[in-house]
Chains A and B, each alone.
Chain A
Amino acid sequence: DIVMTQSPDSLAVSLGERATIKCKSSQSVFNRSNNKNYLAWYQHKPGQPPKLLFYWASTRESGVPDRFSGSGSGTDFTLTISSLQAEDVAVYYCQQHYTTPLTFGGGTKVEI
């Protein structure tokens, strides 16, 4: 199984400041045949289903504010919130969909 390791487990960021979340996979999730990283990022708020933020590691889902960015390739990925807003308080997960079992990182709780 591909193990997804996120860091940190939680972080407190002041409003307007940058938040950076790391995700590392135990093996590469890059597919050379289509040049894509099979890595997604989700935002999860209590009582709601997870919301897809990025797919293919860095393609922003429609409607996601551009203060969010996704980067990385192979085994190392980063989600950045450039200027934290109050509505960004949530738990963030990375997920690989390269192979089954699909696996999620443990989550990073972002607080103000």
Chain B
Amino acid sequence: QVQLVESGGGVVQPGGSLRLSCAASGFTFSSYGMHWVRQAPGRGLEWVAFIRYDESDQFYVDSVKGRFTISRDNSKKTLYLQMNSLRPEDTAVYHCAKDDYGTGWSSLKYWGQGTLVTVST
């Protein structure tokens, strides 16, 4: 069955960097687009980024453009989110999620449990 397991969260100071990973199994990772979605404490869900199956294109929410980079290693079946210039408002649980398509975007049936990122002094 599809499994997505995030790692890499932790506490970081404002302005710092962190790289999240999402290990995928149970499906042909290289055939599907992948997303990052976050939920700040006490807030709703916010889509963060999407990457196509072949890394040919990436899409971001405006608030992270220029600071976050989504990437993937299909040989390792792993999705990444490099987060630079972190701000307190980036504090959230970050989930990876599998798209049903390779190039477009669908509803999100499969999600990881999430990893907590805390940006604080």
A-B contact pairs, 12 of them (CB 8 A): A1-B62, A50-B45, A55-B107, A95-B108, A97-B107, A101-B47, A102-B50, A102-B105, A103-B47, A104-B44, A104-B45, A104-B47
Q: Which of A75-108 contact B (CB under 8 A)?
A: 91, 93, 95, 97, 100-107
A3: Cβ under 8 A from any B Cβ: no
The A/B interface has a contact count, at CB < 8 Å, of: 59
B27: Cβ under 8 A from any A Cβ: no
A61: Cβ under 8 A from any B Cβ: yes
- Decide: A44 near B45, CB < 8 A? Known: A49-B111, A97-B107: yes
| Given pairs A40-B107, A100-B47, A102-B47, 5 additional interface contacts (CB within 8 A) | A49-B113, A50-B111, A52-B108, A56-B107, A104-B45
Q: Which of B95-116 contact A (CB under 8 A)?
A: 95, 97, 105-109, 111-114
Number of interface residues of A (CB under 8 A): 23
Determine which residue in B106, B113, B114 has the highest number of CB atoms from chain A within 10 A of its CB, and name it.
B106
Of chain A, the residue at the smallest CB distance from B61 is A101
Bound together, the chains give a CA A107 to CA B40 distance in angstroms of: 13
**Which residues of B approach A to under 8 Å, CB–CB?**
35, 37, 44-47, 50, 59-62, 95, 97, 105-109, 111-114
Which residues of chain A are near B60, meaning CB under 8 Å? 101
Task: Decide: B109 and A52 in contact? CB cutoff 8 A.
Answer: yes
Task: Decide: A101 and B105 in contact? CB cutoff 8 A.
Answer: no
Determine which residue in B35, B50, B108, B112 has the highest number of CB atoms from chain A within 10 A of its CB, and name it.
B108
Bound together, the chains give a CA A44 to CA B113 distance in angstroms of: 12
Interface 1/0 per residue, A49-72 and B, CB below 8 Å: 110100110000100000000000
Bound together, the chains give a CA A57 to CA B32 distance in angstroms of: 22
